[in-house]
Structure 1
Amino acid sequence: MKITRAAEERHVLTVTVDNEAGILARIAGMFTARGYNIDSLTVADITDNHAVSRITIVTHGPQNVVDQIRHQLERLVPVHKVVDLTENGPYVERELALIKVAGTGEKRVEALRVAEIFRARPVDTTTESFVFELTGAPDKIDSFVALMRELGLVEVGRTGIVGMIRGASEA
């Protein structure tokens, strides 16, 4: 039985791992071997001594599949902790995007106006183009990119999602 995307749930997983060569390949390989899709993947060193990294993975699947993913990740060495932010109450997620828009005249003026509304910051400007920096929820970035398509969108680069549990407790 094939499961449709509508029957699947979006999950944001954070994985704390030893920062060593090959761990990201092992995690990606686990997803590939089992036919799971990764919608977004970000990795960054999170300690002063560069010993630990945090990986944020966004995936879709029915709850039983996401539970299986979590358990399989927990069994990988050197994984310290796997947290499904989606299941742990309210959390914050953000993404960074660089959006290049080319245009002159009214389209250029309109691109600047829309960027101001979205709080996108121009980080590079020429007489023919802008590169805007935008941080926010993925839906906000999607909306901004859709509007920029009509105004001369040239290129989009996105970091992927980073998420964190709200409040004082650590995930």
Structure 2
Amino acid sequence: MKIAEQQGERHVLTVTVDNEAGILARIAGMFTARGYNIDSLTVADISENHQVSRITIVTHGPPAVIDQIRAQLERLVPVHKVIDLTEMGAHVERELALVKVTGKGDTRVEALRVADVFRAKVVDTTTGSFIFELTGAPDKIDSFVVIMRELGLVEVGRTGIVGMMRGAEGA
């Protein structure tokens, strides 16, 4: 499938799986084998007994491709459940970033001012640099990084997106 055909709506998928060796490789391999791109991927243990994990995948594609991805994920063992948060409706997405910025004098002051506007927290500082911690929607983090590029951006580390449906019911 050509890249142009894959362009389409952005979808956030949550996949509940048994926490066992190789499942992440199988899922990533499924995407690779079919030429689908993963924009963001996060995995975390979500059960008290460490037997279940939740994988959050952000991908793009037209509806037919997204339906195919869901169907193929659902066929994988040990996948328990696949939910497309985008199709389900209102949901919350968040990401964490660590952003290292260097600077002296006015540039340093401006970096701190911008960080305050974005509610970024200083988690490390030296006489020549800061590391900011920032959480929020991916667009907020993108905007912060763009501004910091002009102020001495050195490095960015991002966790990837996690998402959850709004309301009282669980996925």
Report the equivalent of 1:20: 20
Q: What amino acid is aligned across from residue 86 of structure 1 in structure 2?
A: T
Q: Look up the SS of the partner of 1:56 in the other structure.
A: strand
Alpha-carbon distance between aligned partners in 1 of 2:39 and 2:8, rounded to the nearest angstrom: 13
Q: What residue is the counterpart of 1:155 in the other structure?
A: 155
TM-score of the aligned structures, taking structure 2 as reference length = 0.97
Structure 2: distance between partners of 1:86 and 1:11: 5
Count of equivalent residues? 171
- Matched with 2:56 is 56
Aligned ranges for residues 17-166 of structure 1 at < 5 Å?
A: 17-166=17-166
Aligned equivalents of 1:66, 1:38: Cα separation in 2? 12
Deviations 1:35-62 (A, max 9, x none): 0000000000001110000000000000
For 1:99, what is the secondary structure of its paired residue?
Answer: strand
- Which amino acid in 2 is paired with 1:120? A
Q: Name stretches of at least 5 consecutive residues in structure 2 with no aligned partner.
A: none
CA deviation after TM superposition for structure 1 residue 2, in Å: 4.9
Are the counterparts in 1 of residues 100 and 154 from structure 2 also a CA contact under 8 Å?
yes
Cα distance, 1:64–1:6 mapped onto 2, change above 3 Å? closer
Q: What is the CA RMSD across the aligned residues, in angstroms?
A: 1.4
Letter in 2 for 1:23: I
After TM superposition, the score normalised by the length of structure 1 is: 0.97
Amino acid in the other structure paired with 2:139: D
- In structure 1, runs of 5+ residues without a counterpart are none
| Aligned residues with identical type, % of pairs | 81
Q: 2: CA distance between counterparts of 1:6 and 1:16?
A: 24
Amino acid at match of 1:115: A
Q: CA deviation at 1:170?
A: 1.2
Shift of 1:6: 9.4
Deviation string 1:42-87 (CA, Å, 9 cap, x unpaired) is 0000011100000000000000100000000000000000000000
